[in-house]
Structure 1
Amino acid sequence: MQLQINNSPFNEEQIELLNRLLPTLTDQQKIWLSGYIAAAQSAAPQTSPEATLQDVSEAAPHSQPAGPAPSKEVTILFGSQTGNGQGLAEDLSQKLKAQNYNVTLSSMDDFKTNTLKKVENLFVIVSTHGEGDPPDNALSFHEFLNGRRAPKLENLKFSVLSLGDTSYEFFCQTGKDFDKRLEELGGERLYERVDCDVDFDESAEEWFEGIISSLNEAQEASSAGTFSTSEAQVAAAGAPTAEKPAYSRTNPFKAELLENINLSGRGSNKETRHLELSLEDSNLQFEPGDSVGIYPENDPELVNKLIDEMSWDPDEQIVINKKGEQRSLRDALLSTYEITVLTKPLLEKAAPLSGNSELHELIKEGHEEQLKDYIYGRDIVDLGRDFSPWNVPASEFVSILRKIPPRLYSIASSPTANPEEVHLTVGTVRYDAHGRERMGVCSGQCAERTEPGDTLPVYIQRNPNFKLPEDHETPIIMVGPGTGAAPFRSFIEEREEIGAEGKSWLFFGEQHFTTDFLYQVEWQRWLKEGVLTKMDVAFSRDTEEKMYVQHRMLEKSQEFYNWLLEGAVVYVCGDEQYMASDVHEAMKTILQQEGGMNEQEADSYLEDMQQQKRYQRDVY
């Protein structure tokens, strides 16, 4: 018999839960449950009819004595530069809450380290940045954990999900560091570390399932024979799942291209594109500082060249995922697999498939420099040509390739100023290498194969580590040469719309004033109208001695320091390897020259600025 709302004291959600549970119970289970509830009521007479089964079970004594149950408290810490790690941490948090766990979710730089010793279940999600370095918001926690103040963690159970890119030498190094250090401090792995490449979705989902299963097994083993197990199952069955947007990283929105403009002047050494995409009917929301992910397609000419080189049948059906979905080989190479980048792990997987002794020799220990030289600037076509014969079917060869990762671009528009649109600034990558012209996968598609009216699969990548200050009167300093100026266009558009009164200062750099001054008319209008307070530019090829943004900062060191004293937030966007590190050193020099600090004090000042969210970087 089905319960109805009009003849019971339960609400609609409880009715649905009971109607799913009651038909599954045996007569013995119904009798036991009836007696249990009666005992619980006598033990807790104040319980209201609306109380949940969990409330009742907490108020009533268990029918059997049990030892200390494993903790239902879970802590998730993330270290994330671009937002991928934070997004995964939030997904895991929702999954664990649906399983009735109490979750503490925190970025590493916000976590109170003096509480670490009390944590019993710790899950770490962290990316690796640069050459094996922690992301900015993981630096302080990484330093703490490897310092003398790190506590013994004998009662800790932990697991680590590390994000990285196999094209870098120190793949997932930060995650490996955390995993090793937590074990050294006495922690016990609840589940083995998983290292993810750029196509991390399936690997991350497997890790989620693994740690949740491990947690649940520990709970069930402890509570065998008591009501607790049934309670957890009922709560999990009835727990509402978190609503997710219809469009996401795993379900991108096909955005129509409205505009595709070449910002670079005639004669420029570069080609920088301004794209305007429609988000109408997508329900995608973003803020200044966020990014757009684009899933690109490989160049059809490159795909055809690879198929010809390997003598493959383009119509052969290939399984492209664990669900068994199939596509033709040509379609799979166009839109599923990465074919433009070689990595050491890929060559190691390829060697057993090749009958060429030179490839086997290249991957041997001691040949690291030769391997690095070979990989640079080459792609799968080169691999196929240089190390034939390949005595395996196409399906086996393709199975070693990784999925095409999305390309992230800083958003160059304010949603307030341009509702239902998103603007991007894309530098086209073109170069010659090893006798062939080469092109960036996504930038080449945008420059040569995408016209207004076409669509691109996109999603929003939130970046909570690169945001305008909540106080609109706070001064901001923006350092963004080249396409690094994109988010600052978004910042200034937003501040214009909301009438922010705080001062703003932009440092912009490029090669030539006449051909490479991106968004020049807009910056000059904002300067004239007072929306942008100051702008300093550096065009490196227009002067006998190359001039970069860090040189302009040093020229204005006294004023720059005064802005810092006024509480200015500093934003840096662009190349990490050279520009961002040079800008960081320039800031240290300014603090030493104008603030009378020594090097250690200047380092500490910048670390404090990062902790206070007054020094934010979006670097790549």
Structure 2
Amino acid sequence: MQRVDPSQLPGPALSAEQLRQVNDLSASLNARQALWLSGYFAGLEAALAQAGPALAAPPPAVAPTVASARTLTILYGSETGNSAALAKIAAAEAKALGLEASVVDMADYKPRRLKEEQDLLLVASTYGEGDPPQPAIGFFEFVEGRKAPSLAGLRFGVLALGDSTYEKYCEAGKRLDRRFEELGATRLLPRVDCDVDYDEAASAWTREALALLVADIGGQLAPGVGAAPLAEPQQSVHDKRNPFVARILDNLVLTGRGSSKETRHIEISLEGSGLTFEPGDALGVMARNNPAVVDRVLEALGLDGAAGVKVKDREARLALALEEHFEITTATPRFLEHWAGLSGADDLERLIGPERAEERAAFLREHHIIDVIRAFPTSEVTPESFVAGLRPLQPRLYSIASSLAANPDEAHLTVSTVRYMLHGEERCGVASGFFAKLAAPDTRAPVYVQSNPHFRLPADDVPIIMVGAGTGVAPYRAFMQEREARGASGRSWLFFGERNFVSDFLYQAEWQAYLKDKVLSRMEVAFSRDRWGKAYVQHRMLEQGRDLFDWLEGGAHFYVCGDAARLAPDVHETLIAIIETHGARSREAAEDYVRALQDGHRYQRDVY
């Protein structure tokens, strides 16, 4: 190797001793080793830069890279943003190592490009019981359909995100993993399935994938690169890992006397946070468990809440740890297995195997963690052994029901209180129970904004059709506030459904004002438990089918927000039926019409 002339070095000068060491090393290298070393220092520079300004050296004029012989595409299918964040981090680390990496949302990816890909990493979340994320449905339909091409020349890897509360845990990622193998692609590395506490598993998968790709071109990861849990790129000072401790301004019950449910309107101050959002985005709320629930769990365990326990390498009081850091209500298959080991209960052991999936799911629907503890007590539990079977307490996402243009420095939420009886005790949802019982005005709650790029208003002159039931009306309140503030000229039509007209007509006075001011052009309502008008939103859609189809033909965007299990599929089927009838199309042609709306981002859903 040629010795280095210091006068030719770009960037910061080396000391005489550093230069001697470089020259001694370079004299002993062959071409392949020199290529590897360039990748090593590229990775090292990236790691130092991530460590912060105090450790990062000024960038060289020409950054050393590993020349990539193959292209790398990282696809993500994301419902709440987790898969998107992980994919973007992996792409950034790949580029730092000299790999030609691009990152694409499955919703925006043209699936016919698959046969041109060389290396493909897929990060996919699972929605509900085994479904792909809503924005990625089109990608899954193509890949799993008969038009999918042979992928014999492709190498792939899958990172699957899921929630072990569900039986079909990480099923969307598993489906991709199986299908790509069926299409002839070669698995670059084994699939990794991640629960809600995914940081370390995702980091290890990313590191292994990049190490394999870099090794192909004669390189090697620098020591420590990718070894730490992945950190999301900072777009705001406050995010999921560093939420803003916000103040609750107001907390009102929207539903009237006699209602069979409770729905609340929450106003939260974002003043001083620097957080911004668009209509359609969600607010992540880091709620805490009710101290009364914590006390009942501790009593059932026979443990002292003042005992110490480790939480992320820090010592905390057990009671506080259970209140702020762990899920202590809903039991998961993982917890059942863990508690079966602690208690030695044969009845729990029987529920563990895959052949008991239906029986286990039925058991979990009827038993919270406290019910399992009470039914199968043990004296062998310690604070450490108990929390080892728990999952981290996860934020709850709520569609934002306000516009910054109308309410600067505020975010409004529409929250239905989850409250029911189980084994003779009242049970509440963690976040909705927090808002119902603990969140008086001036209470503090950590929050962050979760972007939802697949639920966006179109241009101001484009008509919109909004379909929602219950709290699904929340983002449409934000839409109307935004359009009023901007003086938008596009027509708007709202289909709203709830239980009873008298007690459950959420934001009734506001909709009437929007109609009067012509911000809202039309509104249809459906109340499912009124004797004189029992109906659902899909019935109102059918009644207005001719006009609804005309609006679509005129370029309207169609939105659905609400329940994923019933509302979303019923509305989808009704939309197809309307297009069949009023568009004089066959069922297949109507489905193609709806698919074209989805592909053109004119049919958007925010369902849960």
Q: Normalising to structure 1: TM-score of the pair?
A: 0.86
Question: CA 1:28/1:82 → structure 2, altered by over 3 Å: closer, same or farther?
Answer: closer
Q: Which moved more, 1:595-604 or 1:458-467?
A: 595-604
Q: Whole-Å Cα distance in 2 between the matches of residues 611 and 347 of structure 1?
A: 42
Q: Is the Cα contact below 8 Å between 2:70 and 2:118 reproduced in 1?
A: no
Q: Which runs of 4+ in 1 moved over 6 A?
A: none
Q: Whole-Å Cα distance in 1 between the matches of residues 424 and 576 of structure 2?
A: 43
Answering whether residue 319 of structure 2 is matched by residue 319 of structure 1, we say: no
Answering whether residue 341 of structure 2 is matched by residue 332 of structure 1, we say: no
Q: Normalising to structure 2: TM-score of the pair?
A: 0.87
Question: Which residues of 2 match residues 101-250 of structure 1 at below 5 A?
Answer: 101-219=99-217, 222=218, 243-250=234-241
Shift of 1:447: 1.1
Answering whether residue 292 of structure 2 is matched by residue 301 of structure 1, we say: yes
Partner of 1:526: 514
Q: Whole-Å Cα distance in 1 between the matches of residues 22 and 141 of structure 2?
A: 59
Q: Which amino acid aligns with 2:598?
A: Q
1:195 aligns to what SS in structure 2?
strand
Partner of 2:602: 614
Partner of 2:491: 503
Partner of 1:362: 351
Q: Is the Cα contact below 8 Å between 1:80 and 1:126 reproduced in 2?
A: yes
Q: 1:437 aligns with which of 405, 421, 426?
A: 426
Shift of 1:373: 2.4
Q: Whole-Å Cα distance in 1 between the matches of residues 257 and 21 of structure 2?
A: 80
Answering whether residue 270 of structure 2 is matched by residue 279 of structure 1, we say: yes
Q: 1:428 aligns with which of 410, 414, 417?
A: 417
Q: 1:53 aligns with which of 51, 62, 69?
A: 62
Question: CA 1:519/1:202 → structure 2, altered by over 3 Å: closer, same or farther?
Answer: farther
Q: Which amino acid aligns with 2:596?
A: D
Q: 2:548 aligns with which of 560, 564, 567?
A: 560
Question: Which residues of 2 match residues 90-101 of structure 1 at below 5 A?
Answer: 90-101=88-99
Question: Which residues of 2 match residues 76-95 of structure 1 at below 5 A?
Answer: 76-95=74-93
CA RMSD of aligned residues (A): 2.9
Question: CA 1:51/1:167 → structure 2, altered by over 3 Å: closer, same or farther?
Answer: closer
2:159 aligns to what SS in structure 1?
strand
Question: CA 1:369/1:191 → structure 2, altered by over 3 Å: closer, same or farther?
Answer: closer
Q: Is the Cα contact below 8 Å between 1:507 and 1:535 reproduced in 2?
A: yes
Answering whether residue 301 of structure 2 is matched by residue 310 of structure 1, we say: yes
Shift of 1:294: 0.8
Q: Is the Cα contact below 8 Å between 2:156 and 2:189 reproduced in 1?
A: yes
Q: Whole-Å Cα distance in 1 between the matches of residues 554 and 269 of structure 2?
A: 39
Answering whether residue 490 of structure 2 is matched by residue 490 of structure 1, we say: no
Shift of 1:486: 0.4
Shift of 1:368: 3.7
Partner of 2:441: 452
Partner of 1:65: none
Shift of 1:290: 0.6
Q: Which amino acid aligns with 1:319?
A: K
Question: CA 1:54/1:152 → structure 2, altered by over 3 Å: closer, same or farther?
Answer: farther
Q: Whole-Å Cα distance in 2 between the matches of residues 596 and 316 of structure 1?
A: 70
Shift of 1:155: 3.5
Q: Is the Cα contact below 8 Å between 1:266 and 1:515 reproduced in 2?
A: yes
Partner of 1:602: 590
Q: Which amino acid aligns with 1:28?
A: N
User: CA-to-partner distance for each residue in 1:578-599, whole Å, 9 max, x for gaps?
Assistant: 1111111111111111111222
Q: Whole-Å Cα distance in 1 between the matches of residues 219 and 349 of structure 2?
A: 54
Question: Which residues of 2 match residues 541-580 of structure 1 at below 5 A?
Answer: 541-544=529-532, 546-580=534-568
User: CA-to-partner distance for each residue in 1:328-360, whole Å, 9 max, x for gaps?
Assistant: 211111111111101223212321111322222
Any stretches of 5+ residues in structure 1 without a counterpart?
1-7, 37-49, 59-68, 235-240
Answering whether residue 391 of structure 2 is matched by residue 391 of structure 1, we say: no
Q: 1:28 aligns with which of 19, 23, 29?
A: 23
Q: 2:574 aligns with which of 568, 586, 589?
A: 586
Partner of 2:47: none
Question: CA 1:27/1:552 → structure 2, altered by over 3 Å: closer, same or farther?
Answer: closer
Q: Whole-Å Cα distance in 1 between the matches of residues 522 and 8 of structure 2?
A: 66
Partner of 1:405: 394
Any stretches of 5+ residues in structure 2 without a counterpart?
1-6, 32-58, 226-231
2:415 aligns to what SS in structure 1?
strand
Q: Is the Cα contact below 8 Å between 1:199 and 1:404 reproduced in 2?
A: no
Q: 2:283 aligns with which of 292, 296, 311?
A: 292
Q: Is the Cα contact below 8 Å between 1:130 and 1:577 reproduced in 2?
A: no
User: CA-to-partner distance for each residue in 1:490-547, whole Å, 9 max, x for gaps?
Assistant: 1111111111110000011111222111111111111111111111111222234621
Shift of 1:192: 2.4
Q: Whole-Å Cα distance in 1 between the matches of residues 214 and 17 of structure 2?
A: 23
User: CA-to-partner distance for each residue in 1:427-474, whole Å, 9 max, x for gaps?
Assistant: 1111011211101110011111011111111111111111111x2111
User: CA-to-partner distance for each residue in 1:260-311, whole Å, 9 max, x for gaps?
Assistant: 1111112211211111111122121211111011111111111111111111
User: CA-to-partner distance for each residue in 1:366-421, whole Å, 9 max, x for gaps?
Assistant: 54443222211421110100012252323112101111111100011111222221
Q: Is the Cα contact below 8 Å between 2:419 and 2:427 reproduced in 1?
A: yes
2:158 aligns to what SS in structure 1?
strand
Q: Is the Cα contact below 8 Å between 1:289 and 1:490 reproduced in 2?
A: yes
Q: Is the Cα contact below 8 Å between 1:198 and 1:405 reproduced in 2?
A: yes
1:576 aligns to what SS in structure 2?
coil
1:115 aligns to what SS in structure 2?
helix
Q: Is the Cα contact below 8 Å between 1:83 and 1:461 reproduced in 2?
A: yes
User: CA-to-partner distance for each residue in 1:121-179, whole Å, 9 max, x for gaps?
Assistant: 21111122233122232222222222344333343332211122222221111100111
Q: Which amino acid aligns with 2:591?
A: D
Shift of 1:609: 0.8
Q: Whole-Å Cα distance in 2 between the matches of residues 203 and 389 of structure 1?
A: 31
1:182 aligns to what SS in structure 2?
helix
**Matched residues, percent identical?**
44
Q: Is the Cα contact below 8 Å between 2:526 and 2:533 reproduced in 1?
A: no
Q: 2:260 aligns with which of 266, 269, 273?
A: 269
Q: Whole-Å Cα distance in 2 between the matches of residues 156 and 254 of structure 1?
A: 46
Q: Which amino acid aligns with 1:26?
A: Q
Q: Whole-Å Cα distance in 1 between the matches of residues 323 and 233 of structure 2?
A: 34
1:492 aligns to what SS in structure 2?
helix
Partner of 1:353: 342
User: CA-to-partner distance for each residue in 1:78-114, whole Å, 9 max, x for gaps?
Assistant: 1123333223322332333333333222122322233
Partner of 2:370: 381
Question: CA 1:97/1:352 → structure 2, altered by over 3 Å: closer, same or farther?
Answer: same
Q: Is the Cα contact below 8 Å between 2:417 and 2:429 reproduced in 1?
A: yes
